Amino acid sequence: MTASSNAAPEGAPVSAPPPADKVGASARPTLRVGPSPHLHGPETVPRIMRWVFLALLPAALVSVWFFGASAVKVLTLSTLFCLGVEWLCLRLMRTPGALSDWSAAVTGLLLGMNLPPTAPWWLILAGAIVAIVVAKHLFGGLGGNIFNPALTARVFLLVSWPTYMTTWLKPGQRQWLAPGTDLAGITEATPLGLLKEGRLSELSAGASDLLLGNLGGSVGEISALALLIGAAALLWKRIITWEIPAAFIGTVAAVTGLAYAIGGPERYLAPHLHVLAGGLFLGAFFMATDMVTCPITYRGRLIFGAGCGLLTAVIRLWGGYPEGVSFAILLMNAGTPMIDHYLRPRTFGTATARQGATS
C-alpha cells in the first residue's frame, strides 16, 4: 500500500507513517519511510468491489425468485442510474475514481436491495442522485465519504416518501406491475411493521420464512440465508472482518432478548426473529462493514458494531420507525472519526515518550 493510492477506500493502517505533529515534537530529524520490505497486498479497489457485488448476488437472486419482474426492475434501474450519475459526476466534478472501479455498481445494487420492490423509477433515480452526488462526490468521491452512500439515499427516500418506501409486495407476486397498478391486496406488512403497530398476533411468517425470504420486505433483505452465503464469501476473502457483524447482531439479540424476557411474547418479538427480520443481515454484513465509513481498529469495530446494534434495537422497540438498521449505521458512521481518534493504536516504541504529553 503506497501513499499514491489515496483513492483506495481502506485506511491503510499497516504502513501509515506517524502523524507529522508527533514526529516534529522530537528534536532529532526522523526518516519517515518504513523499513524496506514493504508489504504488498493483492487487494485493489476493483477486486474488492467485484467481490462485494458477487456476494450480494445470492440475495438479489432470491428476491428475483420471490418478486419477479419488480425486483429485476428495481435492481437494474438502481444499478444503471448509479453508474450513469457516477459517470456524470466523474466528468463534471473531476473527483477521483472511475466507473471501472465497480464502486458505483456496488452502491447501485445495494441501493436497489434497500428499496421496496414496488419503488417507482423516479424514486430510484432520486436515490441514485442522493447516493452518488450528495453522499459520495460532494465529500470528495470514493474513499472520502463520511456516510455510506446507499444508506444515505435510503434514509433520504424513507423520510421524504414514507408511503412509497413502505409498500411491501407479497412474496410470489412476480408479474410486471405497470405504473399506477392498484397494489391493494398484493401487499402485506413486514414482521417489524406488525410489531410497531401492535398487531403481532397477525404475524404468519416464521423463522424458516425469514431464512429463505418468503415474506414481504426490501428487495435485498428478505432472505437471511442468501445474505449469509454472500457474507461467508466476503469473510473468507477477508474483505470484511467478523467484529462489526458479530457485535452488531449480538447486541440486537441481547437487547431484544432482554425486552422479550421482561415484556413477554404478546408485546415483543422473539430475539431470533428480530435477528432474522428486517435489514439486519444486509446492514450488518454489507453496509456497516463498508471500509470507508467504519473504524479501522479492532476495538473500534467492536464498539461500532455494538453501537449499531444498540441503536437498532432501541429504534425497533421504542422508536417511531419499525426498522432502525439504516439510521443506526448512519449515526455510527458519524461517530467513526471519533472512535478512530480515541482508539488510535500506540506506535511501537513510543509509549514512554508520550506519557503525560497528551495533546
Partner 1 sequence: MASGVSLDREFTKGFVRENPLFILVLGTCPSLATSTTLFNGFGMGIAATFVLVCSNIVISLLRKFIPDGVRIPAFIVVIASFVTMVDLLMEGFVFSLHQSLGVFIPLIVVNCIILGRAEAFASKNGVLRSALDGLGMGLGFMAALVVMGTIREILGNGTLMAGTPYEFAPFGEGFKASPVLVMTLPPGAFLTLGLLMAGVKRLGERS
| Residues contributing to the site for partner 1 (CB under 8 A) | 126, 134, 138, 156, 159-162, 164
Residue whose CB is less far from partner 1, 160 or 208: 160
Residue whose CB is less far from partner 1, 164 or 321: 164
| Cα 300 from Cα 228, distance rounded (Å) | 23
For cell 431464512, name the residue. 211
Instruction: Find the shortest distance in angstroms from Cβ 319 to partner 1.
Output: 16
Residue whose CB is less far from partner 1, 149 or 309: 149
Is residue 187 helix, strand or coil?
strand
Q: DSSP characters for 55-66?
A: HHHHHHHHHHHH
Instruction: Find the shortest distance in angstroms from Cβ 229 to partner 1.
Output: 35
Sequence-separated (6 or more) residues with CB below 8 Å from residue 5:
12
Instruction: Find the shortest distance in angstroms from Cβ 345 to partner 1.
Output: 32
Instruction: Find the shortest distance in angstroms from Cβ 286 to partner 1.
Output: 24
Residue whose CB is less far from partner 1, 99 or 159: 159
CB-facing half-sphere around the CA of 328: CA atoms within 13 A: 31
Is residue 344 helix, strand or coil?
coil
Instruction: Find the shortest distance in angstroms from Cβ 163 to partner 1.
Output: 8
Asked if 316 and 323 count as a contact pair (C-beta separation under 8 A), the reply is: yes
Sequence-separated (6 or more) residues with CB below 8 Å from residue 139:
145, 146
Instruction: Find the shortest distance in angstroms from Cβ 171 to partner 1.
Output: 27
Instruction: Find the shortest distance in angstroms from Cβ 160 to partner 1.
Output: 4
Asked if 226 and 59 count as a contact pair (C-beta separation under 8 A), the reply is: yes
Instruction: Find the shortest distance in angstroms from Cβ 144 to partner 1.
Output: 13
Is residue 169 helix, strand or coil?
strand
Asked if 150 and 136 count as a contact pair (C-beta separation under 8 A), the reply is: no
Is residue 140 helix, strand or coil?
coil
Asked if 153 and 85 count as a contact pair (C-beta separation under 8 A), the reply is: no
C-alpha cell at 264: 413477554
Write down how long the chain is. 359
